[in-house]
Chain A
Amino acid sequence: MPAPNSPQLRFLLRASGLFVVMLTLWWWLLLSPMLAGLRFSTGAILWMMPGGRTASGVVLQPDGDWAVRVPLPEFLVKQEAIQRAYRRVPGAPSPVNVRSFRLAIADRVPTFFTLGFPLFWALALAAPLSRRVWRVLAIGTALLAVLSQLSLLVYLAYAIETTLQLAPSGLPAALWRAAEYLNVNVLPYVAPLFLAAWLHRDLRTQIFSWGEPAPVPVPVVEEEKSKRGRYRGRS
């Protein structure tokens, strides 16, 4: 256990307190614009995909869930698994024409991918304050924005794959499942921690203390002597 008033205990209390504040701020003020931004960027990415100009989009449902229309590239549509999923009649001369895949995402999924922001801000601000902290906050926030977008795209790809049963069996399927598990259950919590330790030099130095100068011995005896001298002088 950290001793009272140790840097570890101070950091724990500051980071936990700041996290509660940031989480409240995120939940009441920032979540809505963040989700709107994520919806917009996801829509833009889907639009840029092959076939996306005619068959793509992200629509907010009245219950808060997202309806995502993902364009399916032609090479994918021709695959047997997709043709089977869309009930192509065996022996039919022409393949079933599929342009996009419509997917409903519960609102908590994209919300979850933005959880890293308040955790990262709390960790960065709980570390020793310096002028660099604003730079750390800006870079970390930008990287987390990219990461949340990537996580959502991986989630979409996995949802399509499991619905259409496209993945091969064996090791690739197991690795793909593991990647999705980590993407949803681990990455949103771990990424802010890594980013804070990577970007915040003071925090990293405090935790690892690699390369710090050797501790200077405190001149206890001399200090006591000087105090005694002062007292003698006064008396």
Chain B
Amino acid sequence: MPEVNPTPPPVSPGPQMRMGRFLLIFGVSLAVLFGLLLAPPTEPAVARFTTGLVTVSAALIRLFGGHAVAIGDLLQNPGTHFAIEMAYGCNGAHVTILLWAAVLAFPATWVQKAKGLAAGTAAIHLVNLLRFISLFYVGQYSRAWFDFAHLYLWESLMMIDTLVIFWTWAHFVRKSGRTANASAQ
């Protein structure tokens, strides 16, 4: 008969502790960052940022031979006068906050976190520009398709992108940690 150990081997609390710590910092960061986003004093800065994104979108469209002008937070086709507005929630701020909170909560050095915040933010806004420009063209084609793509399709795809951006950064952080450990041995 094989010997049966009545007491199971102790489970290492490491991963659970880390996850608990991650969730705590993530939650606090989310609350602080969303609080900042929705606070009245930051509204002018967010509005300027949104206007900047619309200006960049118009410039990109013109660069590739299209017709668009930026009027504040409106992107307009000067020929047809069709225009779309980049509203408060459409400037990629929500997903950026999610990414920032996750990066800040993940165990990494401050340099790694700074790199993750910069590269991740750039990647998110690159996708968001693509989203905004595509909506500009879809809207000129069909209002119904615009609503569908705007409300249901693109926002969810942005979420998936954000998750993958975080995952990729976390993968590189772990990889560099292993490399550092290996070189230390």
Chain A residues packing against B (C-beta within 8 Å): 1-2, 6, 8-9, 11-12, 15-16, 19-20, 23, 27, 108, 112, 115, 118-119, 122-123, 177-178, 181-182, 185-186, 189-190, 192-193, 197, 206-211, 215
Contacts and interface: CB of A to CB of B under 8 A. Distances in A.
Contacts of A189: 94, 155-156, 158-159
Interface string B145-185: 00110011101111111011011101100100010000000
15 contacts: A2-B164, A2-B168, A2-B171, A19-B156, A23-B156, A27-B152, A108-B151, A118-B156, A119-B159, A123-B163, A181-B38, A182-B34, A186-B94, A192-B159, A210-B18
B41 interface: no
Contacts of B80: none
Given A119-B156, A210-B14, A178 B164 contact: no
A181 B88 CA distance: 11
Contact of A209 (B34, B155, B174): B174
Contacts of A6: 168, 171
B127 to A, nearest CB: 11
**Residue of B34, B35, B89, B160 ringed by the most chain A CB atoms within 10 A:** B160
B164 A12 contact: yes
Contact of B38 (A27, A178, A190, A211): A178
A28 to B, nearest CB: 12
Nearest to B97: A186
Contacts of B171: 2, 6, 8
B96 to A, nearest CB: 12
A211 B15 contact: yes
Contacts, number: 83
A118 B148 CA distance: 14
A186 B158 CA distance: 12
Question: Can you list the 6 inter-chain pairs with the closest CB atoms, starting with the nearest?
Answer: A211-B15, A210-B15, A12-B164, A185-B89, A119-B156, A8-B168
Contact of A123 (B19, B160, B170, B178): B160
B142 interface: no
A109 B166 CA distance: 30
B35 A178 contact: yes
Nearest to B11: A211
Contacts of B98: 190
B151 A112 contact: yes
A12 B156 contact: no
Contacts of B147: 108
A115 B19 contact: no
Contacts of A185: 89, 94
Contacts of B156: 19, 23, 115, 118-119, 189
B12 interface: yes
A190 B159 contact: yes
Contacts of B19: 208, 210
Contacts of B148: 27
A117 B178 CA distance: 37
B61 to A, nearest CB: 24
Contact of B167 (A23, A119, A190, A207): A207
Contacts of A215: 178
Nearest to A26: B152
A8 B14 contact: no
Given A12-B160, A193-B159, A207 B170 contact: yes
A1 B170 contact: no
B167 A11 contact: yes
